């Protein structure tokens, strides 16, 4: 087949084909980049969630929660929030922000040995966090919750949130 130089129709078809290939290539490259970004953010979220659970597990297994929050008679220690903040800040990488909250559940046990949760009270009256009041961090990247029974048979929930700038 011979291309005629004066035939504008054939030239327009070739131009349209080349333009279509360029658009298809750009869409393919763009979608591959978006997929890579979403995979990276998902991996980061999973990594931060694992970190949050590791920190909570460390606090429980090392009896840090029991020793810092509660007195031997089971009452709350005065100023425990500041001590907990120092310990947690040593466990969290400096490029991450965190918020830590401790709850105590009230409960009753019926005759069939069933535990009935009747209430939930936040124990920390002071914010345990490295997020300043003027900070603009708003999105939670990952969070973890652990509920366990302490030595005095109290039901405690530890809630840990990790934010990324």
Residue 18 lies in a domain: no
Residue 96 lies in a domain: yes
Listed residue (68, 66, 63) closest to 128, CA to CA: 68
The number of domains in the chain is 1
Residue 96 CB neighbours (<10 A): 17
Residue 23 lies in a domain: no
165 neighbors 140 (Cβ within 8 angstroms) = no
Which residues pair with residue 128 across a beta bridge? 100
Q: Which domain holds residue 102?
A: 35-163
Residue 125 lies in a domain: yes
Residue 42 lies in a domain: yes
Residue 140 lies in a domain: yes
Note down pLDDT in tens along the chain; length 165 residues.
555 556 667 777 788 888 888 888 777 776 666 555 555 566 777 888 899 999 999 998 888 888 898 888 878 889 999 999 999 999 998 888 899 999 988 877 777 777 777 888 999 999 999 887 766 666 667 889 998 887 776 888 999 998 877
How far apart, in whole angstroms, are the C-alpha atoms of residue 44 and residue 47?
A: 5
Q: Are strands 155-163 and 140-149 parallel, antiparallel or unpaired?
A: antiparallel
Residue 131 lies in a domain: yes
Q: Is 50 helix (H, G, I), strand (E, B) or coil?
A: helix
């Amino acid at each position: 087949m011979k291309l005629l130089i004066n035939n504008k129709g054939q030239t327009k078809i070739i131009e349209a084909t080349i333009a279509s290939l360029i658009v298809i290539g750009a869409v393919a490259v763009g979608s591959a980049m978006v997929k890579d970004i979403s995979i990276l953010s998902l991996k980061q979220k999973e990594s931060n969630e694992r970190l949050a659970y590791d920190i909570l597990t460390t606090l429980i297994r090392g009896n840090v929660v029991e020793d810092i929050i509660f007195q031997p008679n089971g009452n709350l220690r005065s100023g425990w929030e500041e001590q907990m903040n120092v310990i947690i800040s040593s466990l969290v990488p400096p490029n991450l922000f965190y918020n830590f909250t401790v709850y105590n559940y009230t409960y009753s046990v019926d005759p069939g040995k069933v535990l009935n949760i009747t209430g939930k009270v936040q124990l920390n009256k002071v914010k345990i966090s490295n997020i300043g009041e003027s900070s603009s961090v708003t999105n939670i990247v990952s969070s973890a919750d652990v509920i366990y029974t302490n030595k005095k048979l109290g039901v405690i929930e530890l809630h840990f949130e990790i934010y990324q700038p």
